[in-house]
Structure 1
Amino acid sequence: MTTKNGESNDWVGAISKRAVALGTFNDWSKPELIGLTDQELEDYQEKFLAMKFYCEGVPIKDIVVATGISRQCINYYAGRCMQLAPDGVWWGCRALLPHLHIKDYCRTKVVGPKLPEAQGGYAGALGAVFYKYPKLEERFNRKILSYHDPDTKNEFRIRSKTLHKIFLDLLKEFGIKENEWPFNTKCLGQHSIGDHIRNVRDGNFGRIVCNEGEREAKAHMAVGKGQRPGLIYTEPYDAVEIDAYKFDCHSSVQMKAPNGTYIDIRISRIWVVLMCDCASGATLAYKCVFRSEISSTDVVDVMRYSIVGQPKPEPVIKGLIYPEGSGLPSEVIPECKGALFTVVKFDGALAHLSEKITNVARKELGYFWTVGPPGHFERRPCVEHLGGLLSNNIFCRLLSTIGHGPNNGRADNCEKIATQTPVLAEHLLHLLDVEVAQYNARISEGLFFLSPLEYIRRKLEKDQQHFLIRTLPASNSRGVTILQLKKIVTVRGNKDGGRHPYVQFLRVHYTSGYLHEAWAMIGEKIVLHIDENDLRLVTAFTMEGFSLGNLIAVGKWADTKHDMRTRKAINSKMMDRTLQVSFEQDPVLVYLAFLSTSKSRKSIDIPADAATEAKRVADEGGLPLVVSIPRSEQATYLEGKPLEFSDSLIIGKKNPDLNELLKQKRLKS
């Protein structure tokens, strides 16, 4: 709006701006003034007072008299304070700070020609190009942020040098001539374009990490935002976290050599499955697994241990003691014996997604299960934190440590050290158990300087024991029967042939004194309750629920304790004819001797995988580890009928590949 003389009438804009500002001063953002000098602080206070009067409706002339600030400056400061800041609100009193630019520099002067070695003169040139060609900036920023472009192919972690070349091509596409910026400069605007690339990447850091970051970086992007999660667990056993970790070191086992001495044989890998409480962070149970990978049975065992108690390893390290009052909650807190959990948080491992976990165990224990997105370990902070503590406090401190990666803490010759300076698996299990007990009894700042065990006790004692933990009925008396495998089988037998009734599970017959004479049950279906860690016997029930007692495995299968994995491994070896077991021999002992047989006649050479499997089988059955001499030199395999191996017999050899034999025959013909 202008007057008759053509002069601008600024009072109209000033009135409308002031009408908006009236009564809003208390809502304006106020900065921290601790870093200002005395002169800067005095100037700020004058501006602050002027804006306060401005928002209260004091006449402008009175503000000028009170603060000494001119009318034009008052309107200027008011306009700055009422502009939107990057955080989405007005700048407020923050705009009154000295040397603060609230908008980017915009060049208006045309970039003129310069001598090649002349300095300066290009300030704001890139901004002027973007102001003139808005689409150019949009397309270039999409390239920086790795958005999909149908015309060109994007690179992974695209370099600044490549982006500079892309920008020059875009300039030519938009009609920028060779005598214009940046083509008329020595470095073709490389420094200005590089600064713009860094600013765009810093302003979109989350997208850059999602596109180019490592797995840990992507997971950490979801934490540290100051926002609490939607579900907060404050009571013990509300939710638990389960995960598995492999030991970050090489270890060995002691095996008895044929000459009576003990030698150290390296094993391949040991896993530990952990269960932690979300509210207290306490370790509820754990299990060590001597295999290359864990299975759903191991996860079920950890759940059972948290309810009925966990077996403790032998104290093989002298002087290593448990702190007073330490241990697992089910051991030291009577109310936690038989305690059940409500929610179980898993990751996406196949062992966690099995039918046994998501259906069978869930129905028996009555919990909810949840699986987070892949690569987001921040959903399970307690168990991840515990896994890191065990790694740093125990395994990465040993001489045989493999570190956290090939170039991160790996000891030199760690495989040889595991046997030359023995790091026995029994020692690791003892160290692990003591560390877990100490962790549960160690005070935590996150729990307001209470230990996880003390936190659980305080919760149980609060409000005159008003809080009650959900428990499984008769958990103490049921023991290992919790979470047992249930399978429906048919009673077999033949009256005419004189074959007494029996049932079969994993190629082994089971019967009992009662079932042996129950001819009327032939052809009937019954339910077997199977302890997967001990297949020597099973418990049978009729379909109506009546107990038939324990059924014992027929033959030598009932002599040595073994689990389902061992049974399947022996059956597999017998099927491909690499293992021969006679009726008089204990299959578990034969299999253990097969694993412990040296592959070399001159030296004791047992592969790490075979030694790991032998350690697992020996621990299950309570058997010693003994190195066997090569088969061609041994008289007997184990106690029982001698095994005979002949080159003319196929027994004792692996079953030949018939397709390969036919192929060779066709080639000869």
Structure 2
Amino acid sequence: MSRVKVFDRDGLSQTQRDRDLWFKVDETLLNEEKRILFLKRKEAIDLYVNNEKSLKEIFSCTGIDRRNLIRLYNRCISFDENGLPWGYRALIPGKNIKKYELDPLSKKSNESRKTGEFNLLLDKYPQIRDEIDDLFFGRKKKLTEPVMKPKYIHKKFVDRCKEAGISRSSYPFNTDTLGYRALCRYLENLRDIHFGKAASRFGHDAEQKAKNSGIGQQNYPQNITPYQKVEFDGHRIDGIFVIKVKTLEGDDAVLTLDRLWLLSFTDRATRNVIGRPHICLNKEYNASDVMIAAKKAIIPFKKKNLTIDGLSYQPTGGYPSEQFPEIEWAVWDVIYFDNAKSHLAQMVRERLSNLIGCTTCIGAVDRPMRRSFIERFHNTFTSSSIQRMANTTGSHPKDPRRKDPEKMAIRYEITFEHLEEIVDVVISNYNGTPHGALFYNSPLEALEQRLKKGMKPRLLNESKRTEFLFTQVEQPRTIRGSISSGKRPYIEYMGVEYRNELLVKSAHLIGTKVNVHINVDDLRTIRVFLPDGSEFGELVAAGKWSLTPHTLQIRKAINLLKKNKLIHFTQWDDPIFVYHEYLIAKETEKKKGSGNRIAKVQQVIRQAEEESNSPNQNKLLAQEHKNLAELDKARELQEKIQAQKTSTSTKRYKTITY
């Protein structure tokens, strides 16, 4: 074969022809003998392709004859297992570029060696190959052992060989291990080729990372502007905590809580945790909890009065809105979270779009690595705080750090209030701790530098800076009432009537359909808008429902218990305290989750006392409380008069005995 015919062969791709695209070889890693031979081969190939010398001249210069030269060139343009030309790699002395295949008809075959017999057997019996692959990847539908060890796969392999009618004198029965070592090598090769599938043998986390990360080009544009992109997620707190309550008998009691949720926002650019995280007491956090967490992330931060001895905020730490007053009420442009149902709720998407004005980026199902910053923060937070406490549940049931967490929580009285303080301080200090990804600047230092460069985030419009709007939902309602029966106009929501002084004088609005804005985090008041869009004002819940703040979830629970006749209250009773007493009484029966519900009621009451409401709402509630106080006095006076009448009647008709 002439040199021109080889070089100009039809069908050669550009990667085969162009030596600049060939993989190079670092000849310094070869020993002296192999390096000299490799350089001679490389020189011969270069001279051959450049058409600088004849074949005889190439032989005189390099010692490579025509036949060997053509063989080496064909090796260079052949493809490896990845579909790329071998190039100069094929010139390395002793380099095997072709997979070994046994030729049973060859005269050079050695009967004492069984190299290649296993692959030859699988080629002859493809059903055995399929059986091995299915067992290794756990693909058989009736397979009771999803992760089968090689020794058990080998047993199945031997059984299938017997079923195929392979004689006792043939492979694998003519070997000492019945082909076990060859099978192990085959499984290892199968594992390396099918990395994603094989990772499932090592658990869901390994499979998840293998299939969803490290694939393709990961050079995403780097985000450096603060608050441009944030991540949100919920994390189960790995610890058991308690609450202290007063029983109906007046005794103190300590109740354990089910595991809680930590909901937080993280800034991608600076790694700061934005605002105070929300600790959710529900079994699963819902849309209201998401928006409460968003509210805490946006409103200016205020430090807690710490009650734990020795616990303190680090001077270098803090929260962004606390350290930099110019970014109080800062909001983000894009939010990343997963496909949890609470994230997809209409309330969440509507509030994020209309109130905050951000774009929602829903991540793929079961791919936490797409929100790596919030996931990494949660791991850091847990390992540096909760998992170091005596009441930790550990990262798994067999974690050595897990030592009867419920007993430890009760013994040391590690309360929910303690958890709130710990979370506040740990995350505040985290924001002031040097971060490797920020070249050992702390998140707050990185934020300070970006702000000095003019990278200031967008601020929430002043007209929207009310806490009511974050947990607001809108529903149509009809104004009810009847002049014939003397029922003044009212609006009913969740079994409770709402009125104000203006509505009770507006009988002409009876039957009118209005739009009601409801704060699901505090149902004491609602806001009404007429059909033309004009605001009618705030209405107050009737009776004792206006006394104690309560959420939509608590209202639903009370209504359900009342419907089932498990609790009863009159117009003189506060439903929230009746519900609280009911939960404490049921705790003696050890109902699962009752401790969390009690803590939820206490948390709502405590937070409402700490947080300020709108001036108009305060005025309406104060007036309603005044009316209720006057009614209570009138009721007490009526009861006193009735008691006096009863006492007088008893004396008048007292029986005289002799």
TM band (smaller chain) = 0.7 to 0.9
SS of aligned partner of 1:244:
strand
The structure richer in helix per residue is 2
Going from structure 1 to structure 2, the CA distance change for 1:147 and 1:437 (only over 3 Å counts) comes to: closer
Does residue 585 of structure 1 match 2:569?
no
Q: Which residue pairs with 1:662 in the alignment?
A: none
Instruction: Report how far residue 55 of structure 1 moved.
Output: 2.8
CA distance in 1, matches of 2:520, 2:144: 52
Q: Could you tell me whether the CA contact under 8 Å between 2:232 and 2:266 is conserved in 1?
A: yes
SS of aligned partner of 2:37:
helix
SS of aligned partner of 1:622:
helix
CA distance in 2, matches of 1:121, 1:28: 36
CA distance in 1, matches of 2:601, 2:134: 58
Q: Which residue pairs with 1:215 in the alignment?
A: 204
Residue type at the aligned position of 2:37: D
1:59 to 54, 63, 67: 54
Instruction: Report how far residue 300 of structure 1 moved.
Output: 1.3
CA distance in 2, matches of 1:183, 1:598: 70
Does residue 560 of structure 1 match 2:548?
yes
CA distance in 1, matches of 2:283, 2:134: 44
Q: Identify which range, 424-433 or 15-24, moves more after superposition.
A: 15-24
Q: Which residue pairs with 1:331 in the alignment?
A: 322
Residue type at the aligned position of 1:46: K
Going from structure 1 to structure 2, the CA distance change for 1:136 and 1:265 (only over 3 Å counts) comes to: closer
1:393 to 384, 404, 409: 384
Does residue 195 of structure 1 match 2:189?
no
RMSD of Structure 2 on Structure 1 (CA): 3.6
Q: Which residue pairs with 1:666 in the alignment?
A: none
Does residue 437 of structure 1 match 2:425?
no
Going from structure 1 to structure 2, the CA distance change for 1:92 and 1:380 (only over 3 Å counts) comes to: same
Q: Could you tell me whether the CA contact under 8 Å between 1:244 and 1:272 is conserved in 2?
A: yes
1:176-225 deviations in Å (ceiling 9; x for gaps) = 54433223334432322332232123211212335x45321122112134
Instruction: Report how far residue 585 of structure 1 moved.
Output: 1.4
1:416 to 407, 410, 426: 407
Q: Could you tell me whether the CA contact under 8 Å between 1:252 and 1:266 is conserved in 2?
A: yes
Going from structure 1 to structure 2, the CA distance change for 1:175 and 1:39 (only over 3 Å counts) comes to: same
Going from structure 1 to structure 2, the CA distance change for 1:342 and 1:530 (only over 3 Å counts) comes to: same
2:24 to 30, 33, 43: 30
Q: Which residue pairs with 1:349 in the alignment?
A: 340
Q: Which residue pairs with 1:378 in the alignment?
A: 369
Does residue 545 of structure 1 match 2:533?
yes
SS of aligned partner of 1:369:
strand
Going from structure 1 to structure 2, the CA distance change for 1:551 and 1:438 (only over 3 Å counts) comes to: same
Does residue 41 of structure 1 match 2:35?
yes
Where structure 2 has 5 or more consecutive residues not aligned to the other structure, the ranges are 609-631, 637-658
1:108 to 97, 103, 107: 103
Q: Could you tell me whether the CA contact under 8 Å between 1:306 and 1:330 is conserved in 2?
A: no
Going from structure 1 to structure 2, the CA distance change for 1:230 and 1:623 (only over 3 Å counts) comes to: closer
Q: Could you tell me whether the CA contact under 8 Å between 2:247 and 2:585 is conserved in 1?
A: no
CA distance in 2, matches of 1:276, 1:494: 53
Where in structure 2 are the equivalents of 1:171-190 lying within 5 Å?
Answer: 176-190=166-180
CA distance in 2, matches of 1:207, 1:199: 13
Q: Which residue pairs with 2:524 in the alignment?
A: 536
Q: Could you tell me whether the CA contact under 8 Å between 2:355 and 2:469 is conserved in 1?
A: no
Q: Could you tell me whether the CA contact under 8 Å between 1:596 and 1:606 is conserved in 2?
A: no
Going from structure 1 to structure 2, the CA distance change for 1:518 and 1:79 (only over 3 Å counts) comes to: same
SS of aligned partner of 1:380:
helix
1:87 to 82, 91, 102: 82
Does residue 123 of structure 1 match 2:112?
no
Instruction: Report how far residue 250 of structure 1 moved.
Output: 0.8
Going from structure 1 to structure 2, the CA distance change for 1:478 and 1:239 (only over 3 Å counts) comes to: same
Instruction: Report how far residue 609 of structure 1 moved.
Output: 2.2
1:478 to 456, 460, 466: 466
Residue type at the aligned position of 1:220: K
SS of aligned partner of 1:611:
helix
Residue type at the aligned position of 1:266: T
Q: Could you tell me whether the CA contact under 8 Å between 2:287 and 2:345 is conserved in 1?
A: yes
Does residue 488 of structure 1 match 2:476?
yes
Instruction: Report how far residue 23 of structure 1 moved.
Output: 7.2
Taking structure 2 as the reference length, the TM-score comes to 0.82
CA distance in 2, matches of 1:453, 1:520: 58
Q: Identify which range, 314-323 or 431-440, moves more after superposition.
A: 314-323
SS of aligned partner of 1:500:
strand
Q: Identify which range, 118-127 or 501-510, moves more after superposition.
A: 118-127
Going from structure 1 to structure 2, the CA distance change for 1:134 and 1:513 (only over 3 Å counts) comes to: same
Q: Could you tell me whether the CA contact under 8 Å between 2:318 and 2:428 is conserved in 1?
A: yes
Where structure 1 has 5 or more consecutive residues not aligned to the other structure, the ranges are 1-10, 113-117, 625-638, 643-669
1:499 to 487, 501, 505: 487
1:527 to 477, 493, 515: 515
Does residue 517 of structure 1 match 2:508?
no
1:265 to 236, 241, 255: 255
Q: Which residue pairs with 1:205 in the alignment?
A: 195
2:268 to 278, 294, 299: 278
Instruction: Report how far residue 309 of structure 1 moved.
Output: 3.5
Taking structure 1 as the reference length, the TM-score comes to 0.80
CA distance in 1, matches of 2:265, 2:607: 29
Q: Could you tell me whether the CA contact under 8 Å between 1:247 and 1:391 is conserved in 2?
A: yes
CA distance in 2, matches of 1:599, 1:205: 51
SS of aligned partner of 1:562:
coil
Q: Which residue pairs with 2:642 in the alignment?
A: none
Q: Which residue pairs with 1:156 in the alignment?
A: 146
CA distance in 1, matches of 2:380, 2:399: 16
CA distance in 2, matches of 1:311, 1:539: 28
Instruction: Report how far residue 271 of structure 1 moved.
Output: 1.2
Q: Which residue pairs with 1:5 in the alignment?
A: none
CA distance in 2, matches of 1:120, 1:314: 82
Q: Which residue pairs with 2:228 in the alignment?
A: 238
Q: Could you tell me whether the CA contact under 8 Å between 1:538 and 1:551 is conserved in 2?
A: yes
CA distance in 2, matches of 1:623, 1:590: 19
CA distance in 1, matches of 2:138, 2:125: 18
Instruction: Report how far residue 588 of structure 1 moved.
Output: 1.0
Going from structure 1 to structure 2, the CA distance change for 1:506 and 1:618 (only over 3 Å counts) comes to: same
SS of aligned partner of 1:284:
coil
Going from structure 1 to structure 2, the CA distance change for 1:540 and 1:610 (only over 3 Å counts) comes to: same
Q: Could you tell me whether the CA contact under 8 Å between 2:138 and 2:147 is conserved in 1?
A: no
Q: Which residue pairs with 1:618 in the alignment?
A: 602
Going from structure 1 to structure 2, the CA distance change for 1:447 and 1:249 (only over 3 Å counts) comes to: same
Going from structure 1 to structure 2, the CA distance change for 1:310 and 1:609 (only over 3 Å counts) comes to: farther
Q: Could you tell me whether the CA contact under 8 Å between 1:143 and 1:163 is conserved in 2?
A: no
Residue type at the aligned position of 1:442: T
CA distance in 2, matches of 1:136, 1:576: 63
Q: Which residue pairs with 2:611 in the alignment?
A: none
1:323-381 deviations in Å (ceiling 9; x for gaps) = 33533333333453333333332223222222212345434433333333332211211
Q: Which residue pairs with 1:658 in the alignment?
A: none
1:49-78 deviations in Å (ceiling 9; x for gaps) = 333333322333333333344444433333
CA distance in 2, matches of 1:68, 1:530: 91
Instruction: Report how far residue 295 of structure 1 moved.
Output: 1.1
CA distance in 2, matches of 1:599, 1:195: 60
Instruction: Report how far residue 41 of structure 1 moved.
Output: 3.1
1:126-163 deviations in Å (ceiling 9; x for gaps) = 234456x385686457546659789x979733453554
1:628-669 deviations in Å (ceiling 9; x for gaps) = xxxxxxxxxxx9999xxxxxxxxxxxxxxxxxxxxxxxxxxx
Going from structure 1 to structure 2, the CA distance change for 1:125 and 1:287 (only over 3 Å counts) comes to: same
Going from structure 1 to structure 2, the CA distance change for 1:457 and 1:16 (only over 3 Å counts) comes to: farther
Q: Could you tell me whether the CA contact under 8 Å between 1:148 and 1:154 is conserved in 2?
A: no
Q: Identify which range, 277-286 or 493-502, moves more after superposition.
A: 277-286
Q: Identify which range, 568-577 or 271-280, moves more after superposition.
A: 271-280
Instruction: Report how far residue 406 of structure 1 moved.
Output: 0.8
Does residue 571 of structure 1 match 2:575?
no
SS of aligned partner of 2:569:
coil
Q: Could you tell me whether the CA contact under 8 Å between 2:136 and 2:147 is conserved in 1?
A: no
Instruction: Report how far residue 398 of structure 1 moved.
Output: 0.6
Q: Which residue pairs with 1:253 in the alignment?
A: 243
Instruction: Report how far residue 124 of structure 1 moved.
Output: 2.2
